[in-house]
Each structure stands twice: as structure tokens, then as C-alpha cells.
Amino acid sequence: MSLDETAQPIDPQTLAPLDTVTGLEPEWWRTAVIYQIYPRSFADSDGDGIGDLPGITRRLDSLADLGVDAIWLSPFFTSPQKDAGYDVADYCDVDPLFGTLADFDILRQKATDLGLRVIVDIVPNHTSSAHPWFEAALVDGPGSEARSHYLFRDGRGDRGELPPNNWQSVFGGDAWTRITEADGTPGQWYLHLFDSSQPDLDWNDEWVREQFLSVLRFWLDRGVDGFRVDVAHGMIKRPGLPDYTPPADAGSMGGGQEAAEPPPYWAQDGVHEIYRSWRTVLDSYPGDRILVAEAWVDPLSKLANWVRPDEMHQAFNFSYLESGWKASSIRRVIDDSLEVFASVGAPSTWVLSNHDVVRHASRLGLTVENPQGAGIGPKSKGLPDRAIGLARARAASAVMLALPGSAYLYQGEELGLPEAIDLPDEARQDPTWFRTEGARYGRDGCRVPLPWEAASPAFGFNTTGESWLPQPSDWAAYARDTETGDPSSTLELYRLALDTRSRFNLGAGSIEWLTGYGPEVVAFRNGDVTVIANTGAVPVELPVAEELLSTVPLDGAALPGDATVWLRA
């Protein structure tokens, strides 16, 4: 056979030039492992108890060492911090809490030097109420142009004393707040799907659209590799803003609602033309810049609409995050994900934790349902056993990191950090906690500052010992320096998994299911790697093969429950 006869058709992507910004391969995002940094809680250089950009820059080497491909930074923009920075008062500046634009440039340069891409957050659904656009809307009055950028409406009732509809805020309570007009009279109401400090923009307004195209360009010009788009399923509301009552078991962000007709504030068709225009902007830049959607849309076949070829590049796979530790659910969601994302030419993503959900080292050990956004605290029912939660988290992460596509890690999961459950009430800061008067704990428990050094103040988060949320006293055991070099640690497990994933090119692979291990086992082959995860309690007999990675020490030829092994196929 001549060489010509065996040649495969050439994929034009393989001929694409190297990225002009970083010199790295194009389409890096199809297989990338992307690490979420929550700036408030990563590393604090000035000792005020809140993390900052220089702190991140100093600790970036540890992420390159971990083996990730990119970082995503949660918001660090000018903000009153009513929702930890998801309330933006200036999209094109850095809040002094976190540093300056020059600090951002230094961070980005260091990341590039280390071969790490940088994705920033963009929050288009709402601004802060301290944004000059909203302040002008309050001053200028009903019918003004400034007001038309937001969703102001007259109230119902004889004197406009009732909210315009029955919508509830994601964080609890009414989604409308009534203002006092400049002349002192009770006035119109404005919509806020989140906190009252986060007024929703009206995305039918052309002016709003233009402003955000400028914001994209501002950060693209500064060299970012992409944007994580906050609430990417919420920007357009159904005309007429009709009343709507969600099912009792719906997640706060809309997940779990598979009805043909979506809620009037989530997943409206009109959002797609916005992303098409954004995509055009990104494509006009050199390099390979991406958009990733935070869209809590079910089922996955609907979410695929966010990543059609002319829209976003990726969408977080929250169906995967919500599939729990049950083999049949995990298999189903993997199959669905690979099929539906491939049908539109997008890679699947995989995600188990982020700053809005209970950390998976605790979540996978819960014995009662915990809808997204509810959080857990000392009085929650069905609290997890820490050892079981950690064993499952390690096993689940080992499944995730063997899958083809792109995986997202949330800071601290590589240390096996649990949710901080026992935070004192007076320390809590999530608006959910306040707006539900303590009925929902919210998300503070997954946002506690990271432990770096067991023996340092604030476990090395800074040098002063200050911490905006108190760190549990037993976190020395999870500190990065404690775990470094300990082959049984979660940190070393992640490093081995990322290295092996890269050596065997698992991100670019495809999976073939393996049968015969029983209903409680997830078993598949990805290229030269066989992955076997036992979600049950009964040990599973393993084939004889070289062990590449195991989440537990293997004693003989059986895989115990709550464990995953990678074998050389």
C-alpha cells in the first residue's frame, strides 16, 4: 500500500497557523482544562482579607504546575460587591479591592509566559445599581432615554403600588423594586432577576447592545482569550412580561425546567442574535478567542443552541454537574452530551463545581436533594460524611478528566476542599442568605479563601491572617504545601490525572462503553486508557493491566466502591 492510499482527508484545522497572540495551537479550547479563579478567595497580596490580582499573579506558577491550560477569572471589575462582583459599576476598569488595570496586564502577561490562556467574566444581564447608566435612569425619569436601557414599568394597582408581575428573584423575594422619583413621589418599578442592587438591562435596546460590543473590544484589545458570559440564558424576556410561577423543584437559575415553553425570563430565542453579533467581534480578532455560556438550560439538546457554529464556543454542562453519583445517570448524561454537542460541531464541557454550587467533595455525600443555590449550613438536613464525600469527589473528578472535550475546575477542588458548612450566621455574605432571611444558606460555603500553607496566617492566603469569610480551623490538612508530594493527596491525584490526560490526548479522544461490570459501574475506553468507576458498594473485579491512576490504593485485583481507576488499555 502506498502512503497515498492510507492518507486521511486533511482537516483544515490542522493546517491553521499558530495563534498570533500566544504562539499556541489553534482551537485549544476544544480539549482545554480551564481553572476557575474566584479572585476574592484565591490569594491576597495586600493583607486586607480579600484576594486580588497581584495575589493571583504571584501564585500562577502553581496552576501551570498543576497542568491546566487556561484560567477563567470571576469578576474583578469596579463594583460595590453586593453580589461579590457580579454587580458591575464599570465594565472597563478594575475595582481597587483587586488592583488596577496595570495589575491585570501584568497578570495576563505572566499567564501568557506560562502558556496559560486567560478568560474573563462578562456580566451583561444586569449592571450594578451604582452604574452611571442606572443612576442616570433614576434621575431622568419615566419615558427618558436613560430609563429605556433598563426594564422600568409602572406598577399594578390603583396607585401603582403592586409590582408589575409576580416574578421572584433568583436570590429570593420579589424581582421588582419600586423607586422614588426625583420629585419625591413613589415611582416606577425596575426588574432585577437577582438582587435589587442588580437592575436588569433591556437587551431590546440597541444602545445597550452597542455598549457591550465596546466592552468586548476593550478586553480583547488587552489580550484576553475569551469571555465567560454570565446568565447567558436570561438577557431577553418574553414580551409583555407575563406572570410565571416556577415548579417548586426548579433550580434557582432555571435548571431542571424542561417544559417546551421556557419561563418568560430564561432561554428566550432572542438571546441568540446577540451572541451571533458577539461572535463576529471575536472572529475579527487574531488568535483563537472564545465565548462560554453560563446557561442553565435543560435538556442538553436545547443548550446546544448556544454553541451553534456562529454563536458561542462552549457552554457549561450543568446537566453533568447535576447528574450526582449514580452510574446510570452519569452514563446517560455523557452519552447525551457527546451526541448533542457534536451535532452542532462543539466540544462537550464537563464541570463538577463552581462558585454557585456546593463543592462536589460535599455535594456528592449529601443524603437529601439540594437544589442549586440553596447551599448547606449547620442546620441543613442530610449533611455529608466527609470521607465518603471526598472519596466520591476524587472518583468523579477522575471520570471527568478522562472524557473527551473541555473540563472546568473550580479553585480548591484540586485540594479536595469540602464546603465550609459551619460558617457563623454573622459571617455570611451571599444576598441569598439575606433575601430569604436565612431560609437558604446560599453560596458562601464554597467561596472561603484557599489554604496554601498549613503553618502560615490564613493558611497562606495572605500574611495578616485576615479573611473575608472565616476559614475552617482544620484546613491545614488541605493546604497546598501539605498535599504537595504526598502521593495519596487529592492535589497529586489531579496532577497525575492532568498529566496522563495530556500524554494520552484524552481531551481529543472518543469513548467506547465497556459492559459486563454491573449496573453501578461506569466503564469506558478512551484511546489507550480504560476508565472504571465504581459508584456502588460491592468491589468490582478488574482486568489485568497497567495501572495509570487510581483514586484509592488498590489492594489486589478489585476496585472498591466510590473509586475510579485508569488502566492502560
Scan residues 504-533 and list those touching ligand NOJ (CB under 6 A): none
Residue among 428 and 480 whose Cβ is closer to ligand NOJ: 428
Stated as kind and residue range, the H or E segment containing 54 is: helix 53-66
In the complex, minimum distance from the CB of residue 63 to ligand NOJ, in angstroms, rounded to a whole number = 20
Judged by CB under 6 A, does residue 407 bind ligand NOJ?
Answer: no
Residue among 103 and 430 whose Cβ is closer to ligand NOJ: 430
- What is the C-alpha to C-alpha distance for residues 459 and 465, in angstroms, rounded to an integer? 8
In the complex, minimum distance from the CB of residue 432 to ligand NOJ, in angstroms, rounded to a whole number = 8
What mask, x for binding ligand NOJ by CB under 6 A, covers residues 143 to 162?
Answer: --------------------
Contacts 24+ apart (CB under 8 A), 217-224: 217/281, 218/91, 218/92, 219/92, 219/120, 219/122, 220/281, 220/282, 220/285, 220/289, 222/101, 222/104, 222/105, 222/108, 223/21, 223/108, 223/112, 223/118, 224/108, 224/118, 224/119, 224/120, 224/289
Judged by CB under 6 A, does residue 478 bind ligand NOJ?
Answer: no
Q: Which of 52, 174, 230, 419 binds ligand NOJ (CB under 6 A)?
A: 230
Residue among 134 and 459 whose Cβ is closer to ligand NOJ: 134
Contacts 24+ apart (CB under 8 A), 77-84: 77/123, 79/128, 79/130, 80/128, 80/130, 80/197, 82/128, 82/195, 82/197, 82/198, 82/431, 83/194, 83/195, 83/197, 83/198, 83/431, 84/40, 84/355, 84/429, 84/430, 84/447
**Radius of gyration of the chain from its Cα atoms, rounded to whole angstroms:** 24
Environment class of 161 (CB within 10 Å of its CB; exposed 0-12, middle 13-18, buried 19+): exposed
Catalytic residue chosen out of the listed positions 294, 356, 419, 562: 294
- How many residues bind to ligand NOJ according to rule CB under 6 A? 9
- What is the C-alpha to C-alpha distance for residues 128 and 230, in angstroms, rounded to an integer? 14
Judged by CB under 6 A, does residue 37 bind ligand NOJ?
Answer: no
In the complex, minimum distance from the CB of residue 97 to ligand NOJ, in angstroms, rounded to a whole number = 17
Residue among 372 and 550 whose Cβ is closer to ligand NOJ: 372
In the complex, minimum distance from the CB of residue 86 to ligand NOJ, in angstroms, rounded to a whole number = 3
In the complex, minimum distance from the CB of residue 179 to ligand NOJ, in angstroms, rounded to a whole number = 21
Judged by CB under 6 A, does residue 413 bind ligand NOJ?
Answer: no
DSSP E strand boundaries for 13-165: 33-37, 70-73, 77-78, 90-94, 117-122, 152-153
Residue entry with cell 426548579: 250
Residue nearest to ligand NOJ (CB): 86
Environment class of 283 (CB within 10 Å of its CB; exposed 0-12, middle 13-18, buried 19+): exposed
Q: Which of 152, 194, 203, 219 binds ligand NOJ (CB under 6 A)?
A: 194
Q: Which of 35, 86, 325, 468 binds ligand NOJ (CB under 6 A)?
A: 86
Q: Which of 83, 103, 202, 562 binds ligand NOJ (CB under 6 A)?
A: 83
In the complex, minimum distance from the CB of residue 162 to ligand NOJ, in angstroms, rounded to a whole number = 25
Contact between 298 and 319 (Cβ < 8 Å): yes
Contact between 394 and 337 (Cβ < 8 Å): no
Judged by CB under 6 A, does residue 134 bind ligand NOJ?
Answer: no
Residue type, 567: L
Scan residues 290-319 and list those touching ligand NOJ (CB under 6 A): 294
Residue among 230 and 298 whose Cβ is closer to ligand NOJ: 230
Backbone angles phi and psi of 480, in degrees to 5: -60, -40
Residue among 52 and 230 whose Cβ is closer to ligand NOJ: 230
Backbone angles phi and psi of 325, in degrees to 5: -110, 60
Residue 243 a catalytic site member? no
Scan residues 354-373 and list those touching ligand NOJ (CB under 6 A): 355-356
Residue among 208 and 479 whose Cβ is closer to ligand NOJ: 208
Residue 437 a catalytic site member? no
In the complex, minimum distance from the CB of residue 231 to ligand NOJ, in angstroms, rounded to a whole number = 5
Residue among 193 and 506 whose Cβ is closer to ligand NOJ: 193
Catalytic residue chosen out of the listed positions 230, 288, 356, 430: 230
Judged by CB under 6 A, does residue 231 bind ligand NOJ?
Answer: yes
Task: Give the binding site for ligand NOJ (CB under 6 A).
Answer: 83, 86, 123, 194, 230-231, 294, 355-356
- Annotated active-site positions, please? 230, 294
